[in-house]
C-alpha cells in the first residue's frame, strides 16, 4: 500500500461513468441535470414531464421508470464523459451488471431512506466485489430533515468500505440551503439550475465543518501513514495532499466518498462533475483493472446491445485499447462478429455519426451482427481474453405467451430472439407438452415491458396467460385389465387382444413395460406395438394429465392369423390402459420445488409466514454466509404456489429479497385443491 498521496495526479482522456442506485433515487434526473449543466442540452427536462434524455423509450415514459440503460455523452471542461444511466429496479439489474466492467467509476445515487438501504447494499456489493471505484451521491436533499446529520450512520451499514463524508449541509432556517465542501473548506449556497455561489464559512457551519473535516481526514489517514502522523501532531495537511489522498483512495476502492445534492434543481451537480474530473480514475486504471494493455491491439467491451427501428443493431461499447473506426472487422472470443458500419455518439435515443472511436471512448457501433452484450472484441488476428464474465440470470417469474394472430407465429419467434439478444435476463422455454412458449424473467414489470416491446418495437401483438403447471397423475392400486380391439367389416378385419397387469410404482419410478407372454399367445413382432399403445394412453390419464410411476406387464392375449396387425395391437394396448386406469384410484401429482429465499433478517419472520401461507414446508433458516444482517430461508413448496412468489418476497423486503428454486419431487395432491385443478383441466379441454 502506498503511504503518500504524491501519485494522485488527475486522470485524463474520455471517462465512462455509471449512474446506479436503488429504485427511483433520481438517476435519470441526475443525468438530465448533468447534461444541462455541461451544456449538452439547452434546458433540464424532468421525469414527470416525460421529456428527459434518458428513459426515452415508450415503455420507460409510460411506466415513469427506467426499464433499460440510457447512454449520453457530453463534454465537461475539455474532457469527454459518457454517462450510463442504469435502471434502479432489481428487475432490470442485468443492464447495470453488464456495464460495470466498462466503467471508471460508479456514481451511486441514493436517498436518506432507511427502507432503501438493503437495495443500496446489494448494489454496493457488486461494485465492491469487482473493485469498481464508487462515489455516493445522496440525492433529494431538498426533502431531507434533521436526520441528514446522521447520513453516515444511516448509510454506512450498506457499505463494506468506509464512507467518507465530503460535504455537510448548511441551513437557512429548517431548509437546507447549501453545503460546505470539506476538502476545499469552502461554503456554498445552492442556486436553482445555476452553479452554487461561494459564501463565507462562519458561525455554526464553521464549527461543524471542523469536526466533520477531522473525521474525513481520520478516515483518509487509515490508508496514509504520513497523514496519520500529521493529524497526531496537529499539523494541518496541505490541501493538495488531501485531494491526492481522496483521488488515490477512491481509485484503490478503499473508501467511498459521499456527496449530496438535489438533481431536480441541479444542486450539487457541478461539485459532482468536478469530483469526477479531478478524482475519478480514467481509462488507464480501468484497463489495468480488466487486465488489458492499452498498448495492445484494439480491444473493446460491449456493454449493451440494442435493436433500433431505423439503424438496425447497435453495439454500445467502450474502447479499452487502440481505436476503432468504420470498416474495422472485429472478433469476439468465439467468432468474427462483423464489420463496423458506422460509429455513433449517443445522447439518449439520438445518435450522431462520428469518426473513429479513440481509446477510452464509449460509442455505438452499427451492424456487428454477431456481437453480444458482455463480449470482449478485438481487431487483432487472435481473440482477446474476455475482460469480464457476466453470470447467468436465474429467472423468478414466468408467463406463457402466444401471438394473438396465428400468422404472426414466425414473426414472434424472430422478435423473441431480438428480445433475448437485448436482454439476456429473459429466458425462453418451449413447453412442447403444453404447446406453450414460456417467457421467464425477473419480475412482473420486467415481463410486462418485454411483452410491450414485442408489440411496440417488433409489431407482434401478444396474448399472455399463466404457464401450465407440470401436474402428473398416478395410480394407487393395480388391476389386471383386458384390452380388445376387434372389427370384422367385410374383407380384411382388425384383431388385437391383450391382458395388462397394471401396478403402481414408487414415486419417481416413471414408467416401465414388461413382456410376460409365454407360448406365443401374442406374437413377438406385435409386442412393441402393444407398448406403443400403452404409452400413448398414458399421455392423458383419467384426470387429464400424463400418468407416471406405474408398471405395465403384458401377461396374456390372443391373435388372429389374418386380421391381426401392428395397428390392431397398438389400439388394444391403448384400450387396456384407458379402461383399466379409472379403476386404479387415480390421484393427482404436483411438482414440489426446493426453494431458497435470501432476505434481510428483519424480514425473515414475514417470509416464514408467507411460505407457510402458500403450502410451503419450512425446512429452516440460517444466516446468509458472508452477508451481515441477511438470512436464508429454505422450504419445500408446490410449483403452483411459486407462480408469483417473487412479487410477495419483494414486497416483504423492500425489493431486496429474492429466491432460487429447483425441482425436488412429485407429491400426491388430494382434496379441494386437487378437485379444482382437475375441473379446470376438463374445462380447458
Ligand X SMILES: Nc1nc2c(ncn2[C@@H]2O[C@H](COP(=O)(O)OP(=O)(O)OP(=O)(O)O)[C@@H](O)[C@H]2O)c(=O)[nH]1
Q: Which residues of this protein are in contact with Mg ion, per CB under 5 A?
A: 27-28, 66
Judged by beta carbon distances under 5 to 8 A according to partner kind, the member of Mg ion, ligand X, none in contact with residue 457 is none
Q: Which of 5, 11, 24, 34 touches ligand X (CB under 6 A)?
A: 24
Query: Can you tell me the distance from the alpha carbon of 613 to that of 605, in angstroms, rounded to the nearest whole number?
Result: 12
Report phi then psi at 200, rounded to 5: -60, 140
* Smallest separation (angstroms) from ligand X to the CB of 38: 17
> Which residue lies nearer to Mg ion by CB, 27 or 453?
27
Q: Which residue's entry shows cell 464489420?
A: 339
**What string marks each residue from 133 to 172 as x (binds ligand X by CB under 6 A) or -?**
------xx-xx-----------------------------
Torsion sign across C-alpha atoms 392, 396, 400, 405: negative
* Smallest separation (angstroms) from ligand X to the CB of 79: 24
Q: Which stretch binds ligand X (CB under 6 A): 19-27, 162-170, 228-236, 491-499?
A: 19-27
What is the DSSP code string of 520-583? TSS-GGGHHHHHHHHHHHHTS-TTSS-B-SEEEEEEEEE--TTT--HHHHHHHHHHHHHHHGGG
- What residues form DSSP beta bridges with 494? 487
Judged by beta carbon distances under 5 to 8 A according to partner kind, the member of ligand X, Mg ion, none in contact with residue 264 is ligand X
**What string marks each residue from 256 to 295 as x (binds ligand X by CB under 6 A) or -?**
------xxx-------------------------------
Judged by beta carbon distances under 5 to 8 A according to partner kind, the member of Mg ion, ligand X, none in contact with residue 143 is ligand X
Query: Can you tell me the distance from the alpha carbon of 642 to that of 635, in angstroms, rounded to the nearest whole number?
Result: 11
Q: Which of 5, 8, 14, 26 touches ligand X (CB under 6 A)?
A: 26
Residue 87 in the binding site for ligand X (CB under 6 A)? yes
- Are 155 and 136 contacting, i.e. CB atoms less than 8 angstroms apart? yes
> Which residue lies nearer to ligand X by CB, 95 or 422?
95
- Alpha carbon distances (Å) from 230 to 214, 367, 671: 12, 57, 77
Residue 66 in the binding site for ligand X (CB under 6 A)? yes
User: CB neighbours of 374 closer than 8 A, spacing ≥ 6?
Assistant: 98, 302, 386, 388, 389, 390, 424
Judged by beta carbon distances under 5 to 8 A according to partner kind, the member of ligand X, Mg ion, none in contact with residue 351 is none
Q: Which stretch binds ligand X (CB under 6 A): 18-26, 148-156, 357-365, 480-488?
A: 18-26
Q: Which of 18, 25, 133, 398 touches ligand X (CB under 6 A)?
A: 25
Residue 84's CB is within 10 A of a number of other CB atoms, namely 30
Where does residue 372 rank: exposed (0-12), middle (13-18), buried (19+ CB within 10 A)? Answer: middle
Residue 70 in the binding site for ligand X (CB under 6 A)? no
* Smallest separation (angstroms) from ligand X to the CB of 184: 22
What is the Cα 184 distance to its own chain's centre? 40
Within residues 521-540, the interface with ligand X by CB under 6 A covers none
> Which residue lies nearer to Mg ion by CB, 28 or 247?
28
* Smallest separation (angstroms) from ligand X to the CB of 29: 3
User: CB neighbours of 357 closer than 8 A, spacing ≥ 6?
Assistant: 300, 319, 323, 324, 325, 343, 363, 365
> Which residue lies nearer to Mg ion by CB, 63 or 486?
63
CA atoms within 13 A on the CB side of 404: 8
Torsion sign across C-alpha atoms 244, 250, 255, 258: positive
* Smallest separation (angstroms) from ligand X to the CB of 503: 58
Q: Cα Rg for the chain, rounded, in angstroms?
A: 32
* Smallest separation (angstroms) from ligand X to the CB of 19: 8
Q: Which cell is 326 given? A: 468504420
* Smallest separation (angstroms) from ligand X to the CB of 301: 23
Question: What is the 3 state secondary structure string of 565-628?
Answer: CHHHHHHHHHHHHHHHHHHCCEEEEEEEEEEEEEEEHHHHHHHHHHHHHCCCEEEEEEECCCCC
**E strand or H helix at 412, and its extent?**
helix 409-422
* Smallest separation (angstroms) from ligand X to the CB of 66: 3
Size of the site for ligand X (CB under 6 A): 23
Residue 28 in the binding site for ligand X (CB under 6 A)? yes
**What string marks each residue from 569 to 588 as x (binds ligand X by CB under 6 A) or -?**
--------------------
> Which residue lies nearer to ligand X by CB, 151 or 517?
151
- Catalog residues that contact ligand X under the rule CB under 6 A: 23-29, 46-48, 65-66, 87-89, 109, 139-140, 142-143, 262-264
Amino acid at each position: 500500500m502506498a503511504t503518500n498521496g504524491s501519485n494522485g495526479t488527475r486522470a485524463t482522456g474520455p471517462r465512462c461513468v455509471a449512474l446506479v442506485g436503488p429504485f427511483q433515487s433520481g438517476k435519470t434526473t441526475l443525468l438530465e441535470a448533468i447534461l444541462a449543466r455541461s451544456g449538452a442540452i439547452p434546458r433540464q427536462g424532468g421525469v414527470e414531464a416525460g421529456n428527459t434524455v434518458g428513459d426515452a423509450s415508450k415503455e420507460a415514459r409510460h411506466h415513469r421508470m427506467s426499464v433499460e440503460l440510457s447512454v449520453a455523452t457530453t463534454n465537461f471542461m475539455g474532457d469527454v464523459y459518457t454517462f450510463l444511466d442504469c435502471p434502479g429496479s432489481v428487475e432490470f439489474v442485468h443492464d447495470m451488471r453488464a456495464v460495470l466492467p466498462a466503467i471508471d467509476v460508479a456514481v451511486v445515487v441514493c436517498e436518506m431512506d432507511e427502507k432503501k438501504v438493503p437495495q443500496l447494499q446489494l448494489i454496493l456489493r457488486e461494485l465492491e466485489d469487482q473493485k469498481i471505484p464508487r462515489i455516493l451521491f445522496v440525492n433529494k436533499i431538498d426533502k431531507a430533515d434533521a436526520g441528514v446529520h446522521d447520513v453516515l450512520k444511516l448509510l454506512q451499514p450498506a457499505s463494506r468500505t468506509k464512507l467518507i463524508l465530503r460535504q455537510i449541509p448548511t441551513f437557512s432556517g429548517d431548509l437546507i440551503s447549501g453545503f460546505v465542501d470539506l476538502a476545499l473548506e469552502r461554503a456554498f449556497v445552492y442556486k436553482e439550475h445555476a452553479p452554487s455561489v461561494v459564501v463565507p464559512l462562519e458561525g455554526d457551519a464553521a464549527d461543524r465543518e471542523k469536526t466533520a473535516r477531522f473525521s474525513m481526514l481520520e478516515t483518509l489517514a487509515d490508508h496514509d501513514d504520513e497523514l496519520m502522523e500529521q493529524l497526531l501532531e496537529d499539523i494541518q495537511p496541505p490541501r493538495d495532499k488531501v485531494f491526492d489522498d481522496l483521488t488515490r483512495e477512491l481509485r484503490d476502492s478503499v473508501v467511498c466518498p459521499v456527496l449530496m445534492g438535489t438533481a431536480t434543481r441541479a444542486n450539487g451537480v457541478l461539485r459532482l462533475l468536478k469530483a469526477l474530473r479531478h478524482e475519478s480514475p480514467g481509462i488507464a486504471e480501468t484497463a489495468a483493472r480488466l487486465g488489458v494493455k492499452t498498448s495492445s491491439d484494439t480491444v473493446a467491451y460491449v456493454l449493451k446491445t440494442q435493436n433500433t427501428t431505423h439503424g438496425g443493431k447497435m453495439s454500445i461499447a467502450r474502447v479499452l485499447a487502440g481505436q476503432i473506426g468504420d470498416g474495422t472487422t472485429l472478433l469476439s472470443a468465439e467468432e468474427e462478429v462483423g464489420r463496423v458500419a458506422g460509429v455513433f455518439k449517443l445522447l439518449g435515443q439520438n445518435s450522431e455519426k462520428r469518426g473513429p472511436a479513440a481509446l477510452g471512448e464509449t460509442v455505438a457501433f452499427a451492424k456487428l451482427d454477431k456481437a453480444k452484450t458482455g463480449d470482449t472484441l478485438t481487431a487483432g488476428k487472435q481473440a482477446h481474453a474476455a475482460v469480464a464474465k457476466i453470470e447467468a440470470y436465474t429467472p423468478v417469474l414466468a408467463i406463457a405467451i402466444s401471438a394473438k394472430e396465428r400468422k404472426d407465429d414466425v414473426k414472434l419467434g424472430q422478435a423473441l430472439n431480438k428480445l433475448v439478444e437485448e436482454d439476456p435476463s429473459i429466458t425462453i422455454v418451449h413447453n412442447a407438452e403444453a404447446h406453450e412458449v414460456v417467457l421467464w424473467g425477473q419480475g412482473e414489470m420486467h415481463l410486462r415491458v418485454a411483452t410491450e416491446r414485442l408489440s411496440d418495437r417488433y409489431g407482434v401483438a401478444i396474448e399472455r396467460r399463466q404457464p401450465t403447471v407440470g401436474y402428473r397423475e398416478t395410480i394407487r392400486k393395480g388391476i389386471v385389465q383386458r384390452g380388445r380391439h376387434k372389427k370384422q367389416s367385410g374383407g380384411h378385419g382388425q384383431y388385437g387382444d391383450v391382458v395388462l397387469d397394471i401396478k403402481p410404482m414408487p414415486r419417481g419410478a416413471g414408467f416401465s413395460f414388461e413382456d410376460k407372454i409365454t407360448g406365443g399367445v401374442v406374437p413377438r413382432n406385435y409386442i412393441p406395438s402393444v407398448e406403443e399403445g400403452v404409452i400413448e394412453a398414458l399421455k392423458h390419464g383419467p384426470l387429464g394429465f400424463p400418468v407416471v410411476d406405474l408398471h405395465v406387464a403384458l401377461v396374456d392375449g390372443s391373435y388372429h392369423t389374418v386380421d391381426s396387425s401392428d395397428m390392431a395391437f397398438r389400439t388394444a394396448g391403448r384400450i387396456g390402459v384407458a379402461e383399466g386406469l379409472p379403476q386404479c384410484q387415480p390421484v393427482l401429482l404436483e411438482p414440489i420445488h426446493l426453494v431458497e429465499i435470501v432476505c434481510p433478517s428483519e424480514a425473515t419472520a414475514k417470509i416464514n409466514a408467507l411460505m407457510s401461507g402458500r403450502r410451503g414446508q419450512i425446512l429452516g433458516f440460517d444466516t446468509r454466509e458472508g452477508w451481515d444482517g441477511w438470512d436464508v430461508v429454505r422450504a419445500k413448496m408446490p410449483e403452483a404456489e411459486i407462480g408469483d412468489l417473487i412479487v410477495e418476497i419483494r414486497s416483504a423486503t423492500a425489493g431486496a429479497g429474492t429466491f432460487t428454486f429447483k425441482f425436488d419431487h412429485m407429491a400426491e395432491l388430494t382434496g379441494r385443491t386437487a378437485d379444482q385443478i382437475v375441473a379446470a383441466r376438463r374445462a380447458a379441454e
